[in-house]
Structures are given as C-alpha cells and as structure tokens.
Chain A
Amino acid sequence: MSWYRAWLRLYPLSFRIEYGDEMTAIFAERWRAARGPRERAALWYEALLDIIWSAPAAHADLLKQDVRTSARSLRQSPGFALATILVAALGIGATTVAFGLIDHVLVRPLPFPGSDRLVKLYQDQSFRGYSRIELSPPNFLDWKREARSFERIAAYTTASVNLVGEGEPLRLDGVVATGDLFSVLGVPAALGRALTSMDDAREMPRVMVLSHRLWTTRFGGSPGVLGRTVRLDDEPHTIVGVMPPHFNFPTREAAFWAPKRFTDYDLEDRTNWYLHGVARLKDDVTLAQARAEMSTIAARLAEAYPDANARNGATVIRLRDEVNRQSRLMLWALAGASICMLLIACTNLASLLLSRALDRHRELAVRAALGAGRERLARQMLTENFVLAAAGGLGGILLAVVGMPLVARLVPTSLPIPDAPALDGRLLALAVEVTVATAIVFGVLPALKLAGSASVEGLKAGARAGASRSTERLRSLLVVGQVTASLVLLVSAGLLIQALWRVQGVAPGFEPTGVLTMRTSLPVPKYETTARRQQFYARVLDEVRAMPGVRQAAYISFLPMVMRGGIWPVTVDGQPEDPDNTHTASMRLITPGFFDTLRIPVLVGRDVMDSDTLDAPLVAIVSQSFAERHWPDQDPLGRHLSLARGDLTVVGVVGDVKVRGLEQESEPQVYLSSAQVPDVALPFYAPRDLVIRADVASESLVPAIRSTIARADSEVPVSDVRSLASVVESETAAREVQVRVLAGFAGMALLLAAVGVHGLLAFSVSARVREIGVRLALGATRARILRQVLARGFLLAGIGVVVGTMGATWAAHVLEALLFGVNPGDRQVYAAAAGVCMLMALAGSLLPALRATRVDPLQAIRAE
C-alpha cells in the first residue's frame, strides 16, 4: 500500500489530500479481492497505467482553473496588470535585443559549412605595430604552395568597378578572388556556378558571379542572366552564376565576385600588400598547429627575401574573430546594461507583487480558512505570476522586434553576416529563456513567501503588521538593489556620453559643413592616361564651379575617413633608409582647390596648381605633422621626399587631417598633384571623390552636377552622394546608438527605482498610520515625521549609491577602452550620478512623506 501511496505523489497535493485516502482504500479493496499473483500483477499494471494517465491530466485541470482565476483576478486590477506587464516587457525586451545582438555578432556560427575551421591569414609586422597586414601576391603564392595545415587557401581583395551597359551606369563594390574562395567557404552558387581555380588563368575568358541582391535589383532576378556579358570598367565579363540570398563575403556590401588574375607586376613586388588570405583548416589540424606552421614558413621567407620580408611573421586568426575589440566591448556593455535593466525590472516586479499580495492578504487568509491548502494558494499565485510573465514576455518580444533595427548600427560591418539578427527560433528561444528566468526571480519568491504566511492567523486584525515588517525588509533590499543598478547604468552612460562628446569634439582638420561629396570613378583602360583624366576633371570642375552658389570644388583620390588606408612608406632627403624605422604617410592625389574647398589651412607655401603637370618638377604638399617629424625647426619648403617611386619637392605645408577617423591616430599626410602622375601608374589613387563647397542647399545642386557629369561622360556612374558632414557624423554613429540605448536604459531604471522607493514608503506609511498618529498625539512635530520618512528614502538610496559606486567603478574599468581617454573614475560623472539618484529618492519619498504629515492623530487611533 505504501508503494501505491508513493505513486500518488504524482498528483497535485490538493488532489492527493482530497482523494488519496479513498484511492488507496479502493486499491486495498481490489488487492484483497485479487486472487493469485497474476491478478495482482494485472491490478498493479492497471493502477500504474491509471496514475500515469490521470495524474498529468489532474495537473492540467488545475492549471486551466488557475489560469482562468488569474485572468479574472488580473482583469479586476488592470492598473497593476498593465504596470507589471510593461515592466516585464521592458526588461525582457532589452535583454533579448542585447543578447540577440551578441549571439548574432559573436556567438552564432558564421553562415558557412564548418565555419569554425575558416581562418584568415595576415602578414605579421608587429615590429612596426601592425599584426594584421594584407599579403603580397608572391608571399601568398609561397604560403599557398608550402602550407600543409589547410585544405585550401584563397586570396581576395575588394574592388570597385563601374557596371556599364545595363541601364544607368552603376558603381559596384565587389571582390576579386582566386577561384578557390568558394571551395574554401564551401558555398555553391544558387544559380549557375561559382568561381573555380580554372578561372584564375590569364587566358580564360573573364567571368563574374552576382550577389543575389544585385541579381534581383539590376537583372530582374531572371535566370536568363547566365551567359550574358556585361562590362566592368570597360572589360567584358560573362555572368556565370548567382550566389544564394544570404551569402555575404567578405561583407554584406559585396555585389559580385570576379577572378583575381595576377599580373607580372603582382608577381614581382613582395611589398605590395593588398591580398586578404582566407583558408580552411584541415580537420585534424588545430589553430595552434597552423600558426606554428605558418610562422615557420614566414621565417623561411624572411630569410630568403630579407629586403621585403625581414621580420615578417604570419598571423592566423579565426574568421569569427575579425570583430574589433571596440565593437565587442560595445556589445558587452549593451548586454551589461540590459542585465541591469532586467534586474531592476525584476526587483520592481517582485516589489509590485509583494505589495499586491499584502493587499490580498485577507482574501488569501479567507481562502486558507475555507480549506484551500498552502500548495493551492502558492500554485494559484505562481500561475498568476507566470501569466503576467508570459504576457510580459510577449510584449518583450514585440519590443525586441521593434528595437532590433535601432541598434543594428552596433553590428560591425567587417563580418560576413546580415546587418540585423534574423527573428528566428533562436531569438525566440532566447526571449523565452529570459522570460522564464524573470518569472522565477520575480514570481516564485513572492508567491512562496506569501503562501507561507497565509494562514488563519492572517484573519486576525493586526497580523498584517507582522507580515508587513518582514516584507518591508525584503522590499527595502529590493529598493537598494534598484538604486545600485541605476547608479551603475548612470555612471556608465555618463562616462560614455563624455567619451562621445570628446570624440565629437575632435577637430577633423577640415570644415565639413556645407560640403557636398560624390564619387565618379573613371573606368580603365578608357581613362588610363593622365591627360584623359585631367580633361574629365577640368571639364566637370569648371562647370560645377560656375554653378550659382558654388564656392569651390575639387577632386581627391579618397575622402578622409572614407578610405583609411593608402599608407605608403616614405623617405626624405638627408635621412638614409633605415629598415628598422620605416616612416609611412597617407598619400592622396588632388586637383587644385582641394584645401580651399575643405578649408584645410595652407600654413606655408602653396596649394598644387594647374601648372604642376608632368612637364614641371614633381611637387608635394605635406601636412604639419609630416614637416615636424622630418624637419623639426627647419623650413620644409624645397625639401625632397620620395614616395611611390617619385622624387618630390615640398612646396607647401597644410593642416593635419584625421584621415583614419576621429578616434584613431592618423599618419602624416602627403598630397600629390593628380596631373603629375605618369600614365598607368597608381590607377587606384586616381581622384574619384568630388567635393563641392556651396552656399546653397547641397541637394539642390545634385541634379545639375549629375547632368554635368553625364555630359562629360555618360558612362561614368555617380555614387555615394552625401554631405561631408554625414561622413564625419557616421564616425560616431555606433557610439551614439550605444549612448542613446544606455541613456534610455538609465532613464527607465531611474523611473522604475523611483516607483520602487515610492511604493515602499507609501506602503510603510500606510502601515504605520496608527503609530504616526500616536506619536503626533504624544507631541511629535509634523516636521519631524516628514524628516523621518524622507530620511528612510535617503538612507536606502544612500546605501544603493555606495554599493552602486563600487559596481560602477568596476564597470567603468571594463569600459575603459571605449572611453577615449575619459577618466573612468571621473569625479563629476560619479557625483552627478549620485546626485540624480538622491533626487530620484527625494521624488519617490516626497508624496508618502507628505501623506505622513497629514495623518490626523484622532482618526488614526480611532480607526483601529
């Protein structure tokens, strides 16, 4: 019988209490009636089957009943229900967004089969501060031939080309890659074929593979594109394949993939570092083994080619790890903030539920007196809390769906992943997990606590006070927790805002407002000769400068901050070449008027002039830091430097520009006259970015400029039309998003904490009306009562501030790399955050405190 009783534990407790004895009695009776072991065995079999079937059903019955009761009771207090659901939704939504992003960027496998075996290869030039330098073609080919750690190795580089012959000329960013790329990645084409190593041979016809997006936007998604020939920069290419919709490599911008064919020049120069290496590790080779092998190979090459490869090592990293530290840290900061948010939400919910539970103390006591066991009451409350959590979870998912695009700027562009996490089962599962965790934290504890205290005792008047004391302690703790988390959020947000201001305060070295920019890339071989290009620039610039409202216009290779590379080794006269101490500079070709257009000050000497042509001595304009580095306290004018195989005379010094962006150190700059470049040389640096300073709204100029360019050459596409100001602003876009999110979190946290303080004190005052009444009757002044209630609020906030300061110090330390030099211990920020917290406490305590002073002693004493 005791066995049967043990099995009955599968039923809900209330059911067991109600029917357990009778069920056991029935079993006993049938046991007595059963004859022989066979009948008894059959009896056991039937009984177990019965229990296994009906016990879950009994649980389900209760659940249904409890959900119905919960819905009814929540409908009766819609304000409470709404507040709870909203708070839960905020916490769950924030956490889902943050961890969804982290999962998307840092955790989820990249969308390639066996993606954990994909690695990137770089030359390691740590001796001059760069551990990830692209490969030169001869080094790549040697690595590829010698390395045994990889199934396959491929190289690629990005390419911008003009697509002509399909409607409007179009500027495309794509990839030229060795044919192995697609077998390294392991992704076949969706239509036709991807590139293969056959395509690498120079004599093969030129082919290209389209991205799904280009295929649908430009070619109408027609399967007939296969075999069609289009012109990329005047070279006919045959379309042989279309990649699947979600294939992005190396970034989501890539619109096409064409074969990389090494020229003779490529094969000669070991210092022409521009290839990205990507490889797939063999199944039985670890990353460490591959690193060791590549180091050995690099060392051998360094010995064989000391001029080019001395001290060059090899860097092998997982493709997954191509996320820079700053992006990573921003995401983790977001996650930390969302956890703070969730904690605050949970404590607020727990507090809300506790006070509701106390309101219902009598009701529960009545139910307990009527025979409802504690288990039934706890169960009922748990169900109610889970119903609330589920509703909050749903709201949270909605918030996450709405909020995800707002933080998509935090997804780094350096990864082959879409710009926002897919709203799929994984994200949903995450939201559900967060919801369940929330429900457990805020739902289970109060329910258990309350059911425990619900007893017949609760019916007696005055018992409320005893139960409320311990609840008050718990709630005080919750309030302290809220203030703590709020302070951490406030300090983090404050520090990051300061960092943002500081970054925004960095002078870019030019005046971006009022400058319109656009890109007109000139196709080769049509524009192979310098004279041809200069003709185009002159015609466009003359017409643009003549437009009403235009002050100045010029061309440059690449805008600052748009292209951060273009760094060249440079030597200056009188300073012999020292391999240990190579100097580098950022090199750009410009047309006359560039400095004037961007208001970069010409400090000494002159701008390039129309007369600086190939017939005249080669000139260079250097930036101030360049002059100071090479000719401190000397006149830089007339000095010589050699760069890009040219011997140049310095004719001017200009202000420095933040070529690498606001947050990074930039190399000194050297500007060359675009008219002084020999034909065919430096095609990559041929000026393509048009800059126009105008007094009129720049948008109004765009149509006229477009038609000017079309008149100059109808096959030259116009792309990247934007203001220079927006280029500078995009430098801080990710920071701004992060700061906005964090500040939003901090604001919500403060609000929730204020509600928490208010709720606690309001409750405590109303529980002590009698005590306050007595004290007033005994002669306490109202000011004293006021002070005491306020002091309580301040005390809790104060403890929260102290604990929070410790947490914030730690958080600030973690964030240090994001702070752009702002002191993580910045006193002002901490003081401001603490002040805001205390103000919040004051706001939360004021109403209850005032209510306490309005207690009428006579009424208070009589009411009891």
Chain B
Amino acid sequence: MPPPPAPESLIPLSPAVFHILLSLADEDRHGYAVIQDVAARTGGEVKLGAGTLYRSIQRMLEQDLIVETESRLAPGTDDERRRYYRITPFGRKVARAEAERLAGLVQLARASGVIPGKA
C-alpha cells in the first residue's frame, strides 16, 4: 500500500466532492441522504444527480476520503438495505484544506474590493 498522499495534492476538489465531504462531516449518510442534505444546505441550489454522486463516491473511496460503513436499514424506509458512507480523518483534512483555499480566495476578493466586507 503506498503512503497516503498529502491532502493538498487533491486540491482543488470538484464541487460535488466538496459538497459530499461537507455532508458527511457531521454524520454518516447513505447516498440519497447525501443528495437531500446537499440540496437542503444549498437551498436547492445544488442538485446532485445519482450518477454524479456515485461516480464521485467511487473515486472518493479509492482516494480514501470516505469509507463504506456496514450497510443497514435506512430509518424511515421499510426493508431496503442502504450503504452508509463515513468521512475518514484524511477526508476531513482534505475538506479543511479545500475550505481554507476557498477562504483565502474570498479574502483576496475582499481585499480587491470585489465584494464588500472588512478589508
């Protein structure tokens, strides 16, 4: 097994991957829950398609950003077993690095007066 890469090497993240990481940051979720959560957080702005979601998930699993937890019955559904995903410590680091990158950009934008705020 090669050593895990530096978090910065995966930066910048695609918006879908970043949203999925944010969604999994507070609790383990199954795929549909991630879609719903992302939509709720962004006020319906970001609607992940199922294909986009699972393609991202597949890559994130390979990159060790998330892991699959035991599949279990989803609360509220009857008998469908669902796979749950959990963010890894490495995934958290990557999400943080991406957030810092974005924050840095926002600061730059403020400094140049493109958006209002504390200079």
**Chain B's nearest CB lies how many Å from the CB of A387?**
20
Whether the pair B52, A54 counts as a contact (CB closer than 8 A) is yes
Let me know if B32 and A58 touch, CB within 8 A. no
Does B50 sit at the interface, judged by CB under 8 A? yes
Do B51 and A22 touch (CB < 8 A)?
A: no
Verify if B72 is at the interface (C-beta below 8 Å from A): no
CA distance A47 to B58 in the complex (A): 19
A47-B49, A50-B49 are known contacts. Are A22 and B54 too (CB-CB below 8 A)?
yes
Q: Please name all residues of chain B whose beta carbon is closer than 8 Å to the beta carbon of A572 when the two chains form the complex.
A: none
Interface presence of A46 (CB below 8 A): yes
Given contacts A47-B49, A47-B50, A50-B50, contact A25 B55 (CB under 8 A): no
Query: What would 8 A/B residue contacts be, using CB atoms closer than 8 Å?
Result: A18-B54, A19-B54, A22-B32, A25-B80, A53-B49, A53-B51, A54-B52, A58-B58
Interface residues of B (CB under 8 A from A): 30-32, 35, 47, 49-52, 54-55, 57-59, 62, 80, 82-83
Interface residues of A (CB under 8 A from B): 11, 15, 18-19, 22-23, 25-27, 29, 46-47, 49-51, 53-55, 57-58, 61, 65
- The answer to whether A23 touches B58, judged by C-beta atoms less than 8 angstroms apart, is no
Task: Report which residue of B47, B58, B80 has the largest number of chain A beta carbons within 10 angstroms of its beta carbon.
Answer: B58
Q: Please, how many angstroms separate the alpha-carbon atoms of A25 and B53 in the complex? A: 14
Enumerate chain B residues within 8 angstroms of A18, measured Cβ to Cβ. Answer: 54, 58
Q: Give A739 to B79 CA distance when docked, in angstroms.
A: 77
Q: How far is the CA of A313 from the CA of B58 in the complex (A)?
A: 78
Residues of B within 8 A of A22 (CB): 30-32, 50, 54, 82-83
Given contacts A25-B32, A51-B51, A58-B51, 15 further A-B contacts (CB under 8 A): A11-B51, A15-B58, A22-B54, A22-B83, A23-B50, A23-B51, A26-B31, A26-B50, A46-B49, A50-B49, A53-B49, A54-B52, A54-B54, A55-B51, A58-B58
Chain B contacts for A46, CB-based, 8 A: 47, 49
Distance in angstroms from A526 CB to nearest chain B CB is 83
Q: Which residues of A contact B62 (CB under 8 A)?
A: 65
Q: How far is the CA of A395 from the CA of B31 in the complex (A)?
A: 47
Known: A46-B47, A50-B50, A54-B49. A26 touches B55 (CB 8 A): no
B50 touches A53 (CB 8 A): no
| Nearest neighbor of B33 in chain A, beta-carbon distance | A26
Most buried by B among A15, A26, A58: A26
Residue in B30, B51, B52, B80 with the greatest tally of chain A CB atoms within 10 Å: B51
Distance of A29 Cα from B80 Cα, bound (Å): 12
Contacts of A50 in B (CB 8 A): 49-52
Contact of B54 among A15, A47, A49 (CB under 8 A): A15
Tell me, rounded to whole Å, the shortest Cβ–Cβ distance linking B9 to chain A. 15
Q: Are B49 and A49 in contact (CB under 8 A)?
A: yes
Residues in B with CB closer than 8 Å to A57 are 55
Bound: A18/B62 CA distance, A: 14
Instruction: Across the interface, name the chain B residue whose C-beta is closest to A11.
Output: B51
| Chain A, Cβ-Cβ closest to B54 | A19
Distance to closest chain B CB from A222 (angstroms)? 57
Given A19-B58, A46-B47, A61-B58, also A29-B32 (CB < 8 A):
yes
| Residues from chain A with Cβ under 8 Å of B50 in the complex | 22-23, 26-27, 47, 50
Q: What residue in chain A is nearest B80 (Cβ atoms)?
A: A25
Q: How far is the CB of A92 from chain B (nearest CB, A)?
A: 34
Q: Looking across the interface, which residue of chain B has its beta carbon closest to that of A7?
A: B51
Interface residue from B32, B57, B58 paired with A26 (Cβ < 8 Å): B32
Contacts of A23 in B (CB 8 A): 31, 50-51, 54
Closest CB-CB distance, B6 to chain A, in whole Å? 19
B35 x A26 contact (CB < 8 A): yes
